[in-house]
Amino acid sequence: MRAMVFERPGRPLQLIDAPTPKPGPGELLLKVLACGLCRTDLHIVDGDLPNPQLPLIPGHQIIGSIVEIGSEVSTFSVGQRVGVPWLGNCCETCSYCKRGAENLCDKIQFTGYHLNGGFAEYCTARADFSYAIPSGYPDLQAAPLLCAGLIGFRSLNMAGPGKKLGFYGFGAAAHILIQIARHKGQEVYVFTRPGDQEAIAFAKSCGAVWAGGSDEKSPVLLNSAIIFAPQGHLVPTALEQVVKGGTVVCAGIHMSNIPSFPYRLLWGERTLKSVANLTREDGVNFLQLAPQIPIKTTTVAYPLERANEALEDLRHGRFTGAAVIVPQYIPEF
């Protein structure tokens, strides 16, 4: 099979011919139909996240068709379409796993970080960490649901039900979450890179009641805010713009250092939280909700061999919505 392989930080992904993997007893072998690109992929190849399993095939928002099933799998069938998220494995025995918080397991493994992912024509995944994909979603539109949607959904739940919600950054996750927030009757205020008029226009087209640069003040105090951008300086900025008793959620797996800030920004029973990965229950609940709204994703497709270009376009904010790697690229996408 063809695969894009990450060998070391600072070096572009390499297109290689690799052996097609074999599924273990509890695994699925998937023909990759689409794989969403995530900012976490960028953090991995940039070396921001330590100790990836090298050499590595990145990619953790995988839509695939089952071509072979392990001997212990009874929940899926050949030909079925499934999704594979960031959460790829856990110990199942620690106190976190036993209470359904496997996202905090100390022996956790992630797809496209510890386990080979979907920047390839085939991949394997544990069946009990895979999801059936709702039938109404084309492959390209379904891929961003597997991380941008799932971890964003967890972030939104942690932010609480307040009426006025702020988003710092408006990329793959935010353009999905604004649809859920509006479905719940919330007002969304969006803060983008200063001067990014394309992102501001995109946020407004998705239903934001206000959108501006992150260097601007919100026109109203917010009940909660979710920070998608990996910029630590946004934490005190967001705290300053939420009401007493409000919540600020840091949604990324990596963030630059948070600068010191005066205690008055936290005082008033404001809460600062981080989101750590996702649970399998998050996946079940979100994929049940998505077709009910229905959530629609805006995507840009890249063929497998252009994965490095996709990463650079993500780094510099050259597209709106979500990028998706397509091994069998069709230009009409």
Tell whether 266 is covered by a domain.
yes
Q: Is the peptide bond before 25 cis (omega within 30 degrees of 0)?
A: no
Residues 13 and 28 in one domain: yes
Q: Which amino acid is at 127?
A: A
- Does residue 17 lie in a domain region? yes
Question: What's the pLDDT at 249?
Answer: 98
User: Does 155 share its domain with 140?
Assistant: no
307 CB-contact burial (10 Å; exposed 0-12 / middle 13-18 / buried 19+): buried
Report d(CA 7, CA 13) in Å as an integer: 7
> Do 103 and 194 belong together in one domain?
no
What pLDDT sits at residue 136? 87
Q: Is position 332 within any domain?
A: no
| Same domain for 134 and 26 | yes
Q: Give yes or no: residues 136 and 122 share one domain.
A: yes
Q: For residue 80, give its domain range.
A: 2-146+298-326
Residue 235 included in any domain? yes
Question: So what's the pLDDT on residue 333?
Answer: 39
Tokens linked to 219 = 């026109």
Phi-psi region of 10 (alpha: psi -120 to 50; beta: other; left: phi over 0): left
Give the long-range contacts of residues 20-23, CB within 8 A, separation 24 or more.
20/121, 20/122, 21/116, 21/122, 21/123, 21/124, 22/68, 22/124, 23/68, 23/69, 23/70, 23/124
Q: Quick one: 89 and 165 in the same domain? A: no
Tokens of 234: 């946004």
| Burial readout 23-36 (b: 16 or more C-beta within 10 A, e: otherwise) | beebbbbbbbbbbb
| Pair 138, 224 in one domain | no
Q: How many domains does the chain have?
A: 2
CB-count burial class (<10 Å; 0-12, 13-18, 19+) for 131: middle
- In this prediction, residue 302 carries a pLDDT of 97
CATH code of the domain covering residue 238: 3.40.50.720
On whether the pTM is more than 0.75, the answer is: yes
What is the CATH classification number for the domain harbouring 59? 3.90.180.10
- Distance (Å, rounded) from C-alpha 33 to C-alpha 18? 18
Please state, in angstroms and rounded to a whole number, the distance separating the CA atoms of residues 59 and 178. Answer: 24
Residue 86 in any domain: the answer is yes
Q: How far is CA 32 from the centre of its chain?
A: 18
Establish if 237 belongs to a structural domain: yes
| Same structural domain, 42 and 125 | yes
Residues 93, 121, single domain; the answer is: yes
Question: Mean pLDDT, 10 residues at a time, over the chain (333 residues)?
Answer: 95 96 98 97 95 97 98 97 97 97 97 98 98 94 96 95 97 96 97 95 97 96 97 97 98 95 97 96 96 96 97 94 86 46
Q: What is the pLDDT of residue 66?
A: 98
> Is residue 25, in this structure, part of any structural domain at all?
yes
